[in-house]
Structure 1
Amino acid sequence: MGEYMDMLPDGIGDHIRSIARTSGLPPGDESLELLAQGWLGKKDAFEEQTTTLKMEEKDEFALDSPGGALVMTNSGSLITIAPVFNDLRRVEYVSIGLRQDVPDTAVNEESTLEDDLRVGEPAKFTNGPLQQSSAVYKIAVHTEKMEPEKEIEKLSEATQIITQEFVDVNRTMVVEKET
């Protein structure tokens, strides 16, 4: 196996292999290494930003939790789940970018979780453009209690920063793909 593929957490390598088939990249180890390197960069960006915001990683996020969460999936996508407002949540999905079988971004102002979120299981929603994600890799929540408006602001800020870092990682991957 390659350097970056060997650095992936358990189970992620298989997921990277399945992503490679729909990425538009040529088959082979070089493409797998490129995707693995990108995934690791996105994981680092997620962890760095959630640490900066003093968010705590959890194994679960309850359906009835009033707060919001940032979620990274096994495919390296980012899901931002806003606090509950009028029994609904704003959900924003940002894909890994190279996949051709999912949208780059999707937003629903009136989404609802189908069930609790759990690491290792897909996130499922009852309405909106995102019905189901790949398995959840990480869930981060704010540890400090705050008003929904403030939490939405912090989650939006984190999403913008992480998304920009994801775009930068993708740009690097595309440049490497073309060379």
Structure 2
Amino acid sequence: MAAFFDQVPEAVQQHLRGIIRTSGLSATDESLEQLAQGWVEKMELFTAQTLDRDMEEVDVLPQDDARGALVLTYSGSLITLGPLDGQSRSAEYTSIGLRRDVPDKASKEDSRLEQDVTMDEPVVFTSGPIQRSSAVYKIAVPRGDLSPEEQSLLLGDATQILTEGFVEVNKTIILE
């Protein structure tokens, strides 16, 4: 029964248990398994897109790092951070679509990170589309010496494909 739930790291399992309370799903093992299946599918989509774009996974993105990034959270949300432009960067947040306590989607052009983006810690903004995310599971940054415009295009394309994929995953969770 718990084929997908068993594939999820323990810290993420604990987080998914908490999401059940705010998702509208019934608090059953079956619902938890559906949520875990969705998380595994999103993680696989994220990994495939970052590999296809030759992005590098890192443990930390310093807040003053000029590169943009794609971030996957414990809850299965996607955060796209544009390249640094002076003191700010664009930021887009796309939630898992099942939670009632966060927006489905939010963006802000002149966002500012409060701290480094670090695995197993939330993304925290002093000014951004959200105040803070759930803990970070993966961070992927563009490799090489791409211009800010090239990074923005790469991140924008990946975000569009991931968002569409995540929406489809959410539909299967809700319909099952």
Q: TM-score range by the shorter chain?
A: over 0.9
**Does structure 1 retain, via aligned residues, the 8 Å contact 2:94–2:104?**
yes
1:119 is matched with 119
Secondary structure of 2:34's aligned partner:
helix
Give the TM-score taking structure 2 as reference length.
0.97
Work out the CA distance in 2 between the residues paired with 1:58 and 1:29. Answer: 33
Work out the CA distance in 2 between the residues paired with 1:144 and 1:129. Answer: 28
Amino acid at match of 1:33: E
CA RMSD of aligned residues (A): 0.9
Work out the CA distance in 1 between the residues paired with 2:128 and 2:65. Answer: 19
2:72 is matched with 72
Work out the CA distance in 2 between the residues paired with 1:129 and 1:54. Answer: 27
2:41 is equivalent to residue 41 of structure 1: yes
Segments ≥4 residues shifted beyond 4 Å: none
Secondary structure of 1:12's aligned partner:
helix
Work out the CA distance in 1 between the residues paired with 2:43 and 2:133. Answer: 17
2:52 is matched with 52
2:169 is matched with 169
Work out the CA distance in 2 between the residues paired with 1:136 and 1:39. Answer: 13
1:31 shift after superposition = 0.5
1:2 shift after superposition = 1.5
2:140 is equivalent to residue 140 of structure 1: yes
Q: Aligned residues: percent identity?
A: 51
Where structure 2 has 5 or more consecutive residues not aligned to the other structure, the ranges are none
1:153 is matched with 153
Amino acid at match of 1:132: R
Count of paired positions: 176
Where structure 1 has 5 or more consecutive residues not aligned to the other structure, the ranges are none
1:175 shift after superposition = 1.4
- Residues 55-113 of structure 1, C-alpha deviations (whole Å, 9 max, x = no match): 01000001110110000001110000000113210000000111111000010001011
1:128 shift after superposition = 2.6
- Residues 5-60 of structure 1, C-alpha deviations (whole Å, 9 max, x = no match): 11111211110000011100111111101100000000000000000000010000
